[in-house]
Homo-oligomer: A and B are copies of this chain.
Amino acid sequence: MGKIGCASLEFEKKPYIKASACVAGKKEGEGPLGPDIDKIIEKPEAGQNCWEEAESELQRQMLEILLEKGGVSRKSLRYIFAGDLLGQIIATSFAVEDYRVPLFGLYGACSTMGEAMSLASIVVSAGYADNVVAMTSSHFASAEKQFRFPLDYGSQRPLSSTWTVTGSGGVIISSEKSNVAIRGITTGRIIDYGVTDSMNMGAAMAPAACDLIYQNLADFEIKPDFYDAIYTGDLGKVGQTILIDLLLERGVDITSVHHDCGIEIFDNERQGTYSGGSGCGCSAVTLCSRIIKKLEMGELNRVLFVPTGALLSTTSFNEGKSVPGIAHGVILERMN
C-alpha cells in the first residue's frame, strides 16, 4: 500500500466520492448521456457576455448542484482542485472567486479531471482534508476561440477533429464512506510522438493514454480484465484505434474493456461530431453522468478512468512545435 511501482499510489485509507454533478449544453443534452446530466444549459452564452464568462457560469452552476447534492457547505469545503483549457485558466478563476475556498489551480489540458481527482484523493487519504472538490469545464466556443478559428469563419472540420464539449463536471472527494471509493491513482508523464495536427487531438493523446494504461497495469501487476471498464477521456474514434494498436504492440489487449468518453457523449452519426467529443468537460461530464452512476448501481465494479490531455497551445503550434500529450489515471471501485 502507498507507493506502487513507478507512478502509482494505492490508498491505505481510501477516499470516497461523496457526490458528483454535471451541467452541459444543448447539444450534449441531446446526446446519449442527456437524461443523466443534472442540468442542461440551453443557450451557449449561459446568460453571460462572452464565451469565457459562459464557461465560468457552467462551473458555478455545477458547483451549486454539487454542494447541494453532497450536503456540503462552502465553509466545510477544504480545497478546490480545478482547471480548464483556457490560457491562465480564467474560466476556473472567475468561477470560484466568490466561493472563497482555498484553490489549487491546475493545468492538465483535457486530463484535468484526472489530475484534480488524483491530488484531491492524496489530500483526503493523507487526512489533510475531509471534503475536497475536484472539477473542470470546457466550452465549445471558448475553446474554438482559444485554439482554432473564429466560429464566424465557418471553417471546415476534418474527419479526425473532435467537438469540444460544453459542460462542467465535478466530484466531492471525502473521507466519509460512500459506495464508490478511489482505490488508487497512476500519474501521467508527458509523451510526445511529434504530432503537429491541431485537428487530430486523438492522435496526439493516444500515446499518453497508452503509456498511462501500460504503467497502471505494470505498477499494480494486473491485466486489463482487472477492470470492468477502462474509460479514456477524449480520444475519439481516431484516437481509440491508435490506442488499441499501440497497446497491442506492447502485448496488451484492452478491446473488450475499453470505452472512450469522447465516443460515449455524442451520437457521432446523428450529431455530426466526427471523431467524438473532447475538452476537459468531456470526461468530467461522462464520469459524473454515466460512470459513477454505473458504479453506484452495481453495473460496474471497478473502473480505470483515464482523462487524456493534448497540451496544445496556439503559440507553440504556430512556432511549428508538436502537441505533447498527458493522461492521469484514477481507479474507481464500487464498495459493498
Which A residues are within 8 Å of any B CB, using their own CB?
2-3, 6-7, 9, 49-50, 52-53, 78-79, 83, 85-90, 93-94, 96-97, 99-109, 115, 118-119, 122-123, 125-129, 146, 187-192, 311-316, 319, 321, 324, 326
Contact in complex: A324, B49 (CB < 8 Å): no
Q: Can you list 9 A-B contacts (CB < 8 A)? A: A3-B128, A52-B315, A87-B146, A88-B313, A90-B315, A93-B326, A105-B106, A106-B106, A126-B128
Out of B93, B122, B188, B190, which one reaches A190, CB within 8 Å? B93
A90 to chain B: which residues have CB within 8 Å? 311, 313, 315-316, 321
Extra pairs beyond A87-B88, A88-B311, A97-B190 (8, CB < 8 Å): A87-B146, A93-B311, A94-B316, A96-B190, A100-B189, A105-B108, A106-B106, A122-B126
User: For the complex, what is the distance from the CA of A3 to the CA of B97, rounded to whole Å?
Assistant: 22
Given A88-B311, A119-B119, A122-B128, CB of A104 within 8 Å of CB of B316: no
Listed residue (A107, A118, A189) with the most chain B CB atoms within 10 angstroms of its CB: A107
Given A97-B192, A122-B128, CB of A103 within 8 Å of CB of B187: yes
User: For the complex, what is the distance from the CA of A187 to the CA of B190, rounded to whole Å?
Assistant: 27
User: For the complex, what is the distance from the CA of A88 to the CA of B3, rounded to whole Å?
Assistant: 29
User: For the complex, what is the distance from the CA of A129 to the CA of B326, rounded to whole Å?
Assistant: 20
Q: How far is the CB of A300 from chain B (nearest CB, A)?
A: 26
Contact in complex: A105, B107 (CB < 8 Å): yes
Contact in complex: B104, A106 (CB < 8 Å): yes
User: For the complex, what is the distance from the CA of A83 to the CA of B122, rounded to whole Å?
Assistant: 20
Given A3-B78, A126-B128, A316-B90, CB of A103 within 8 Å of CB of B321: no
Out of B85, B146, B190, B313, which one reaches A86, CB within 8 Å? B313
User: For the complex, what is the distance from the CA of A3 to the CA of B129, rounded to whole Å?
Assistant: 7
Contact in complex: B316, A190 (CB < 8 Å): no
User: For the complex, what is the distance from the CA of A118 to the CA of B129, rounded to whole Å?
Assistant: 14
A89 to chain B: which residues have CB within 8 Å? 107, 311
User: For the complex, what is the distance from the CA of A132 to the CA of B313, rounded to whole Å?
Assistant: 27
User: For the complex, what is the distance from the CA of A97 to the CA of B188, rounded to whole Å?
Assistant: 11
User: For the complex, what is the distance from the CA of A202 to the CA of B106, rounded to whole Å?
Assistant: 23
Q: How far is the CB of A191 from chain B (nearest CB, A)?
A: 8
Q: How far is the CB of A88 from chain B (nearest CB, A)?
A: 4
Q: How far is the CB of A15 from chain B (nearest CB, A)?
A: 12
Nearest 4 A-B pairs (CB), nearest first? A87-B87, A126-B126, A102-B187, A88-B313
